[in-house]
């Protein structure tokens, strides 16, 4: 991918899928659809609730959280009081659950957040919380199926474990054959260039901390386990 694709400022690497509605990297799309078809055989309706996200969409999420227009949570999922936080604490809280604009893996089109729509009661709201994927949770069956089968389609969980950066996200899948190369290409310099010309809130402090942000929230992810199709 080129600089614009890596940082979500171009969409020349992704394609639109009608059923289920989502946008994915051209190489990830057929692999995801094949995995979805296999999951259906196990009674799972594998539904993407988030896929490709461009720079402007990530910027909107960031700025709304920075301004207190969206709820902030700590690393344990406890709601925070926005007015009681310093600018640095706000940035830390955002980064625990949302990437900085330009730094999101969703820009690559290789990432997809999934649920089992068949396991969601009609009136229920999906919250995307880790406990939903734990034993006894709504998506425990989905999570177990993914553990057993997703590697065969090239997918893995980059946020499986708590590595001190992004909090664990069992719903977040990544297409390894493309995302591993994208991660290697996602340098601090490319991220800095994308942020410099943006209207991101807290820009000055974010840029001052960019080395640690990149190290902790971009580079520090789980690797694909052995056996993942590449």
Residue 52: φ, ψ to 5°: -60, 135
The H-assigned helical ranges of 68-225 are: 87-97, 140-149, 176-185, 188-196, 203-208, 210-213
With beta carbons less than 8 A apart as the criterion, state whether 28 and 180 touch: no
- Contact between 109 and 14 under an 8 Å Cβ cutoff? The reply is yes
Mean pLDDT taken over the chain? 95
pLDDT exceeds cutoff 80 at 230 = no
Q: Report the topology of domain 3-219.
A: Muramoyl-pentapeptide Carboxypeptidase; domain 2 (3.30.1380)
Contact between residue 166 and residue 95 where contact means Cβ atoms under 8 Å apart: yes
Distance CA(155)–CA(24), nearest Å, equals: 13
Q: Could you tell me the end-to-end alpha-carbon distance of the chain, in angstroms, rounded to an integer?
A: 17
Higher-confidence residue of 185 and 78: namely 185
Residue 217 · residue 224 · CB < 8 Å: no
Extents of the domains making up the chain: 3-219
Mean pLDDT for 121-131 is 85
214-228 per-position pLDDT tens digit: 999 999 999 999 888
pLDDT per residue as tens digits for the range 81-118: 999 999 999 999 999 889 999 999 999 999 999 999 99
Residue 26 has pLDDT above 80, yes or no: yes
Residue 160 has pLDDT above 90, yes or no: yes
CA distance 65 to 206: 14
């Amino acid at each position: 991918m080129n600089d614009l694709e890596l940082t979500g400022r171009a969409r020349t690497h992704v394609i639109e899928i009608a059923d289920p509605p989502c946008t994915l990297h051209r190489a990830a799309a057929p692999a995801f659809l094949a995995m979805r078809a296999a999951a259906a055989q196990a009674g799972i309706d594998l539904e993407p609730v988030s896929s490709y996200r461009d720079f402007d969409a990530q910027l909107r999420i960031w700025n709304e959280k920075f301004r207190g227009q969206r709820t902030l949570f700590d690393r344990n999922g406890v709601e925070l009081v926005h007015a009681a936080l310093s600018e640095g604490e706000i940035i830390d809280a955002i980064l625990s659950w949302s990437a900085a604009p330009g730094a999101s893996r969703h820009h690559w089109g290789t990432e997809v957040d999934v649920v089992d729509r068949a396991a969601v009661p009609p009136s229920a709201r999906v919250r995307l919380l880790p406990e939903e994927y734990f034993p006894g949770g709504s998506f425990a069956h989905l999570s177990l199926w993914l553990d057993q089968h997703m590697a065969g389609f090239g997918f893995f969980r980059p946020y499986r474990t708590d590595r001190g950066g992004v909090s664990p996200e069992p719903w977040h899948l990544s297409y390894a054959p493309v995302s591993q190369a994208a991660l290697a290409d996602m340098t601090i310099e490319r991220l800095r260039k994308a942020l410099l010309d943006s209207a991101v809130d807290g820009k000055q402090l974010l840029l001052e901390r960019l080395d640690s942000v990149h190290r902790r929230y971009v580079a520090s992810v789980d690797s694909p386990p052995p056996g993942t199709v590449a």
